[in-house]
């Protein structure tokens, strides 16, 4: 029965990175709900719409400074990786923020893209 396991692992090994099937940008709109918008530059419309619905369901009432946002953001990132969708985040913060500004903003996160 060992050959079956070897065959299965042989077919799993050549996992080369595939090009993304779509691109999504999650944009923070501000402190008044709805907080988030999901925008797409390219990709299958049905796939992007399903991803958009799942993303908005996870983020619907969460501003970036909410502790639950961090957990749900990781879920969105994993979902994008599973679907092979390129994911960017626009949290409305400047990319080159000073340490003083980051301290004043709290746990809103400092990175602006989620690429793994």
- pLDDT one-digit tens code per residue, 58-84: 988 888 888 999 999 999 999 999 999
Residue 52's H or E segment, with its range, is helix 45-59
Phi, psi torsion values for 90, nearest 5 degrees: -120, 100
Rounded CA gap, 66 and 71, in Å?
10
Contact 55, 65 (CB under 8 A): no
pLDDT digits (tens, 9 = 90+) for 12-51: 555 677 888 899 999 998 887 778 989 998 888 899 999 9
Contact 38, 22 (CB under 8 A): no
- Beta bridge partner(s), residue 43: 22
Q: What is the pTM of this model?
A: 0.64
């Amino acid at each position: 029965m060992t050959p079956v396991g070897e065959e299965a692992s042989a077919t799993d090994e050549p996992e080369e990175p595939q090009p993304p099937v779509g691109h999504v940008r999650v944009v923070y709109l501000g402190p008044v709900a709805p907080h988030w918008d999901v925008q797409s530059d390219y990709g299958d419309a049905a796939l992007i719409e399903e991803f958009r619905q799942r993303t908005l369901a996870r983020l619907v009432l969460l501003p970036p400074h909410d502790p639950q946002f961090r957990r749900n953001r990781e879920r969105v990132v994993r979902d994008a990786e599973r679907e092979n969708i390129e994911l960017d985040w626009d949290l409305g913060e400047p990319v080159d923020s000073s340490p003083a500004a980051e301290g004043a903003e709290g746990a809103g996160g400092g990175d602006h893209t989620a690429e793994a």
